[in-house]
Chains A and B, each alone.
Chain A
């Protein structure tokens, strides 16, 4: 999850810093991290049941949003917090 979030943040940083998306170090390392994530996911699948990948999908989304707000100072609304609360509730219900 951390790798995916890191990759997303690198892609966003790359998009903000340069117009040449494909010749950008941030973008390059962002996609390299995505490839590494596929391999790591493969090994995780050996140890965990596949159903927990639903949690990873939601967790990635949750963490990416929180990091975007904290690092890029993106503005948020009450609906945004309601959505976050819903995702957290979903994670809790899933793991009960």
Chain B
């Protein structure tokens, strides 16, 4: 797809959907992890806390936003943007759980994002050229 066609997909509504999808995905991981800090009297208890339920709710919100986003935006663009989750996750680790996150971790995260983006766009070019991918 030409660059101009991508620009047409970069509307405020689609950015909002992408932000909500990424936000819900990051929030789900946060709530699920946070729920595990509660002392559980028996093995299944962490899965029944309100934090876990909030986490599951966030997964559902993320799924809905993702489906709506895919209706308006190419999968290649959406998946490449979605890889920013890796960076967001590192920020949550640092700010919310005080984990040791160094510049090296962020550098690794950026490389992962670049890799996902290259693969996604290479597949898109294959589809456009009519080859089986």
Is B75 in contact with chain A by the CB < 8 A criterion? no
B89, A87: Cβ atoms closer than 8 Å? no
A86, B86: Cβ atoms closer than 8 Å? no
A25-55, CB < 8 A from B: 38-39, 41-42, 45-46, 49-51, 53-54
B132, A49: Cβ atoms closer than 8 Å? no
List the B residue with the shortest CB-CB distance to A79: B122
**CA–CA, A86 and B122, complex, Å:** 13
A96, B104: Cβ atoms closer than 8 Å? yes
Q: Can you offer 11 A-B residue contacts whose CB atoms are under 8 A?
A: A42-B46, A49-B99, A50-B93, A74-B132, A77-B126, A79-B119, A80-B119, A82-B118, A84-B115, A90-B109, A90-B115
A interface residues with partner B (beta carbon < 8 Å): 38-39, 41-42, 45-46, 49-51, 53-54, 57-58, 61, 65, 74-77, 79-80, 82-96
B76-133, CB < 8 A from A: 83, 85-86, 89-90, 92-93, 97, 99-101, 104-105, 107-123, 125-126, 131-133
B105, A86: Cβ atoms closer than 8 Å? no
B90, A83: Cβ atoms closer than 8 Å? no
Interface of A is mostly: helix
Is B64 in contact with chain A by the CB < 8 A criterion? no
A83, B118: Cβ atoms closer than 8 Å? yes
Indicate which residue in A41, A53, A75, A82 contacts B89 across the interface (CB closer than 8 Å): A53
List the A residue with the shortest CB-CB distance to B97: A50
List the A residue with the shortest CB-CB distance to B79: A61
Given contacts A58-B86, A86-B111, A90-B109, contact A77 B92 (CB under 8 A): no
Min C-beta distance of B89 to chain A, whole Å: 5
Give every chain A residue within 8 A of B47 (Cβ-Cβ): 39, 42
Given contacts A50-B97, A53-B29, A54-B90, contact A93 B108 (CB under 8 A): yes
Closest 9 CB pairs of A and B: A94-B108, A90-B111, A86-B115, A79-B122, A87-B115, A83-B118, A83-B119, A90-B112, A93-B108
B133, A74: Cβ atoms closer than 8 Å? yes
